[in-house]
Amino acid sequence: FKMEVKNSTECYIYVFGKETDGTSYTLFPYPRADDPSKTKYSPFCGITGYRVFPKDKSMTADSVGKRDAIAVVVSKDEIDWVELNAAISRNPQTEFSQRLNAALGLNARAAGRSQVSSTGNIVLRAGNGGKVLACVVEIDKQ
């Protein structure tokens, strides 16, 4: 599957997946095979418009379990995604969303709000002064 993002301001977008053992891994920007701390992809999204990513790859749900979870992080500033992923992976027995918020230093209520439209779109809106928004999306596998 692919994810489409429409942004109305410059931002950086990162996507992390949850492993079956509770740790996380980077889905976007794709880590390079020869050096997982680097990527040829930019998480930057220009001023306005649509972006479908991954452009030349696809995300695939694994065959383990009945549900997958991904975390989408949108930031006004570039984030060290390798460090963020390592922080999300700590304490894998803790709820994925709690680890994500802790890694970002977010208070979920103060950061912004999310809403799911009738068409299945997830709308994220920053609160006053919000620079980072995060959303965990759980995907049922059938």
72 pLDDT higher than 60: yes
Q: Which domain holds residue 15?
A: 3-140
Instruction: Report the share of the chain in percent with pLDDT over 70.
Output: 75
Predicted local distance difference test score (pLDDT) of residue 112: 60
* Count of the separate structural domains present in the chain: 1
Residue 110: phi and psi, rounded to 5, are -80, -25
Nearest residue to 96 via CA among 28, 15, 14, 23: 23
Q: What is the mean pLDDT of residues 15-23?
A: 90
Contacts of 70 (CB under 8 A, 6+ apart): 15, 16, 17, 18, 27, 59, 136, 137, 139
Average pLDDT over residues 46-69: 71
Reported as a single tens digit per residue, the pLDDT across 75-130 is 889 999 999 999 999 989 999 999 998 999 865 444 566 667 777 776 666 655 66
Strands (E), the chain: 3-7, 11-18, 24-28, 44-45, 49-53, 67-75, 112-116, 122-126, 132-140
Q: What confidence score (pLDDT) does residue 40 get?
A: 82
Structure tokens at 125: 């809106």
pLDDT at 44 over 80: yes
Bigger pLDDT: 3 vs 32: 32
Tell me the pTM: 0.81
Q: Using alpha carbons only, how large is the chain's radius of gyration in Å?
A: 15
Residue bearing the bigger pLDDT, 130 or 66: 66
